[in-house]
Structure formats: C-alpha cells, structure tokens
Amino acid sequence: MDRQLMVATVSRYIYRAIIRTGVFKWKVWRLFETRAVNMQRTLAPKDDGVVVLPKRGVIEVGADITKQDTVLPPQVLDYFIEKSNYRAIMNYCYCRDANECKDYPRDLGCLFLGEAARGIHPDMGRAATKEEAREHIRKCRESGMIHIAGKFWGDSLWLGVQPHEKLFTICNCCPCCCVTMVTPFVHPELTGIMHKLPGVNTVVGAECIGCGKCLGACIYGGVKLEGKQAFITEACRACGRCVEVCPQKALRITIDDPDYVQKAIAFLEPRVDLS
C-alpha cells in the first residue's frame, strides 16, 4: 500500500478507537497525553493557529441578521481561496468517515489550499477550481457544519505532504465526530492553537433559566452553569452551537468589532504562504 494511504488508514482507525471508546476521558489517557504534548512542543511550529467561524444563522449583527451572517464569515475563507495557487477537496471527511457518521455528509471533507496540497494522494482528494472550492464551502455551511481554518502541523503529518508552511486547512466540522470534541478533556496545549474570531463573542441574556442544554451542545467546554445561570468561559470559541439549542433564546453571538473579518485575515495570513 502507498505510504500516504497507509498513514491515513492507520490514523483513521486510531481516531475511531479514541472517539468511540471515549478513552480521552479516562485516567490512562494522561500517559498518552504527555507524549502528545511533548510531540506538539517538538513538531509544531510556533506560528500554528486556526480560527473557528460561527455557524450559519447564529450571528447577531445589524438590522438584517440573516443577510449579514450569510455574507460575513465566509469572507474570511473566500479571501484565502481567491489568493491560493492550488486547492484540493478531500473525497471524505477524516473524522466522519472514521466515526461512520450518520447525521452529517461524510463526503464533504476538508478543503486544503496552497502548494503543499498538490501532494495529496489522488485516492484521498482532488484538485478544485476557486469556484468549486467556494461551492464546497457553501454546501458544508448549509449542511450545518462549522468551519475551522488555519495552519495545523498535524494535517501535513497525516496527509504526508510538505512544506507545512504552504498548507492551509479549512475543516468542516460536525458536533458528533469532530476531533475538537475532546477539547474539554485534554491538555490545553493540545488545543491552544484554536481561537475564536476577533471581536466575536457569546452573550448570555437574562432569559436564561439554567436548563443546561447549552452545556451538552458546546464541544469546547465554553459554557458552565453557576446556580441557575449559564456563563461563558475563556474556552468559548463562539461557534454558535449553544445558540441553536437554547430553548429560551437566551444565548447570542454578537460582533463587537466591525473589523473582525480583516482582523481574522491578519491573524491567519502570515502563517501560510499561498503563493
């Protein structure tokens, strides 16, 4: 078997074992976690970083919420798609395929941008035009998935492509299979590269009755209960999942900085060379 395919296959089964058994919640996980942290310290470039884009339909901004929410977050992705010299769409989602997801499309995989994406094995992904890349993002967003975009050393490792600084990742994540669901249970160094968009925040209103449904929806550990009131922690990435499930409509995603798109681009652009 081709080395790239072998690494991807082994990684898939390891991922499946970790997620299905929930081993990341066990004490024995700490043995593996220490090695993972040391590996990240050794292999991960200091400038690695990704941002989480809020779900479609959850941003509260201006008078026409639906219209502006449809336009604004994808602007960040469109900027990098337009700038990229090469684009590859994965034939499947690594996480959903490994976990045999039944709720979200498995064939809507990651979108990779940059010169390094040319090295992705043809059995794993395919070249895409800019318009095909934009259409892929639109389908993922309409399917209810969340985009996580940026540079992460683990992707070049499991894909078997280099150079790492020329690989830009756009993941399309569901709440049931995404690797980020382990975030509340693992060492913060392993998830510290994940950031919320600048100027985007989750707000809890007076309507909150402390029902706790938002706790189950958040995969980042970003919501806690204090008495009968939910409050947002520093772990929040403002993805908007809690907003969708709140029966009281007490949670909102707000934009406090009108330049958040430009600031997100400024955060990501120096990390990857897309020329």
* Whole-number pLDDT of residue 44: 82
Report pLDDT for 101.
Answer: 93
Q: pLDDT digit string (tens) for 224-248?
A: 999 889 999 999 999 999 999 999 9
| More confident site: 185 or 133 | 133
- Any residues with CB less than 8 A from the CB of 273 and at least 6 apart, and which? 114, 115, 165, 166
What pLDDT shows up at residue 26?
Answer: 87
Residue-wise DSSP of 85-139: S-EEEESS-HHHHHTT-SSS-TT---EEESGGGGGS-TTTEEE--HHHHHHHHHH
The pLDDT assigned to 257 comes to: 84
Mean local confidence (pLDDT), 26-32: 84
**Which domains does the chain possess?**
3-197+258-271 (no CATH), 200-256 (3.30.70.20)
Quote the pTM value. 0.90
107-136 per-position pLDDT tens digit = 999 999 999 999 999 999 999 999 999 999
Task: Indicate if the pLDDT at residue 66 is higher than 90.
Answer: no
pLDDT band of 60, cuts 50, 70, 90: low
